[in-house]
Amino acid sequence: MTRKPSLPFLRLCQIGLFFFLVLAWYVLTAFELAPSFFFGKPLVVADRLYQWFATGKIYIHLWTTLLETLLSFGIGTIAGLAVGMWLALDPFASALLDPYVKAANSMPRIILAPIFAIWFGLGIWSKVALAVTLVFFVVFFNVYHGVRDVSPVLVSNARMMGASSRQLLRYVYMPSATSWVFSSLHASVGMAFVGAVVGEYLGSARGVGFLILQAEGVFDINTVIAGMVLLTIFALILDTIVTIAERRFLAWRPSQGSQRA
Amino acid sequence: MNVHAGDRTLRLDNVTCVFDGGYVAVKDASLTVNDGEFICIVGPTGCGKSTLLNVAAGLLEPSRGNVSVFGQELTGMNKRAGYMFQAESLMPWRTALDNVALGLEIRGVPVDKAREQSKFWLEKVGLAAHKHKYPHQLSGGMRKRASLAQMLILNPEIILMDEPFGALDVQTRQLMENELLRLWSEDRKIVLFITHDLEEAIALADRVIVMSAGPAARPIGNFSIDLPRPRDVAEVRLTPEFLKAHSAIWDVMREEVLKSYKQFEGASHDA
Ligand SMILES: Nc1ncnc2c1ncn2[C@@H]1O[C@H](COP(=O)(O)OP(=O)(O)O)[C@@H](O)[C@H]1O
Ligand SMILES: [Mg+2]
């Protein structure tokens, strides 16, 4: 029997499960069945979150993380789009750079963080640089394969209608490439966010990642958890915005809902 | 009506197409299409019909031989021609309206003016109610109508069509064929229409040209079809003249079809 549960019932169970887990956490740590030194206490975590917003102390950090995320998403997407289109349309450049692209992509790019810290200092730009390297490859590969897989019939059709090579770029390759950017939006926004937070965590003066780093230094597990909760909510909001953007811009895609991973 | 003096024909002279790997698809094919003529080319699948049409369109440069359009030798794209492709050729990210407007946009017409004309053409092919739909929201027949409008809006002097209705069911296909004849009869452009379906060819054409089986395919038969116009493609099939033409052409075609069938058989045994 695999009958689908009704949606309101499912929601109720999901909320119930949430409260059960929090309650279990509360009980276990209240009686020190799980040491609160390692696991924190839900009420203290909630209080940290409340204080952050009540005192307004959190806004500068949230803003910093958001700014880094947006900047690296923007820069990484534009660079990935441009280089992806270029290599897709220029077979020689593509063949020439192929091994370098592969090497750069398989390198664990987090290790670039110290270099970027030296180059760009502890401000936002070292985080942006790190996150850009993550975003870039997601967008690049999508655009590259997207443009290469453009149906030759579409190209021939546009040429028969009199399109010059510039117009082919504008009317065929660009729309096709941007559609691939949109279909990789979840991944690229996620990468921008991860890059920003990890960058902050590895050395910074501001941002939610910095708060976590600071709290970790004094073994303040409750603040670490509060930071995690905040980041999770932050990520969920970003993801929702992406989903809305996708609905708006990928309306022409068949069964767009089922393509999401 | 156009009042150009002189030559208004589309001519292929001894066109030979050799593909990478040395496969000779078409060899010494010659063909003249006169002004206002509706020509159908039939031949077994894989014989080189699309190849020949691509040469006429300027999408493919022949290895030997040349193409002349209205007396001028063709270099590069054939700017007088419109092409309707066998495969899906609408831009999936554009609505029907914007797809039909595309050609005008490419020619520098402002978008709102292009859309205005696009509406007119969508009405003409019976898609007025679907203009804001994307290709995946249209049925196969509707997509073909949109493709037809997309080509006709540019008012090409030569219309090239590569098995345009091959993927449609019989009823839709006959509707589209009648529609095509109706639109064509308004100003009788040159039409070069490719099909592997002999009945479709006879129902539509003034002249049917039979291609031999590949490799080295070329036209081997040339039949005038004297059925009266306007025609209804479903009814015309029942007339004795139609049946006579059919059996005459089939006599020539049968052998080619068998040849091509045997090649496929042979190939699958070798594999
Ligand atoms: N780009 C190409 N490279 C190599 N062979 C090709 C190419 N295009 C077509 N051919 C071959 O040429 C022959 C004719 O193809 P085509 O003109 O598409 O046939 P048709 O349209 O009559 O079905 C086929 O055998 C096909 O495999
Ligand atoms: Mg073909």
For chain B, residues classed under CATH 3.40.50.300 are 1-80+157-225
pLDDT tens digits, one per residue of B115-171: 999 999 999 888 999 999 999 999 998 999 999 999 999 999 999 999 999 888 888
Q: Which residues of B touch A159 (CB under 8 A)?
A: 59, 77
Tokens linked to A4: 């689908």
Pocket of ligand 1 (CB under 6 A): B 19-20, 23, 25, 43, 45-51, 214
Distance from CA of B242 to the nearest CA of A (A): 34
| In the block, residue with structure tokens 């909001």 | A237
Q: Which residues of A touch B154 (CB under 8 A)?
A: 161-162
**Fold observed for domain A46-250:** MetI-like fold (1.10.3720)
Instruction: Pick the closest to residue A160 from A177, A172, A148 (CA basis).
Output: A172
Series of mean pLDDT values for 10-residue runs along chain A (261 residues): 80 94 93 89 93 93 95 95 92 93 89 90 92 94 90 95 93 89 88 93 90 92 94 92 87 60 34
Do β-strands B64-69 and B38-42 pair in parallel, antiparallel, or remain unpaired?
unpaired
Is B88 an interface residue toward A (CB < 8 Å)?
Answer: yes
Phi and psi of A58, rounded to 5°? -80, -25
Whole-model pTM: value is 0.83
Q: Where are the domains of chain A?
A: 46-250
CA distances from A61 to A57, A121, A225, A239 (A): 8, 18, 16, 20
For the beta carbon of residue A180, count every other beta carbon within 10 angstroms: 22
Confidence check on the interface: ipTM exceeds 0.90, yes or no: no
A216 in helix, strand or coil?
Answer: helix
Q: Residue whose CA is closest, atom 26 of ligand 1?
A: B46
* Residue A7 CA to ligand 2 centre (angstroms): 51
Q: What is the DSSP string of B96-114?
A: HHHHHHHHHHHTT--HHHH
Q: Which residues of B touch A179 (CB under 8 A)?
A: 93
Q: What is the DSSP string of A41-110?
A: -HHHHHHHHHHHHHHTTTHHHHHHHHHHHHHHHHHHHHHHHHHHHHHHH-HHHHHHHHHHHHHHHHS-GG
Is B105 an interface residue toward A (CB < 8 Å)?
Answer: yes
CATH 3.40.50.720 is held by the domain B1-80+157-225: no
**pLDDT value at residue B255:** 82
Residue B46 confidence (pLDDT) above 90: no
Instruction: Pick the closest to residue A90 from A13, A39, A165 (CA basis).
Output: A165
* Residue B50 CA to ligand 1 centre (angstroms): 7
* Residue B85 CA to ligand 2 centre (angstroms): 9
Size of interface A-B (CB pairs under 8 A): 62
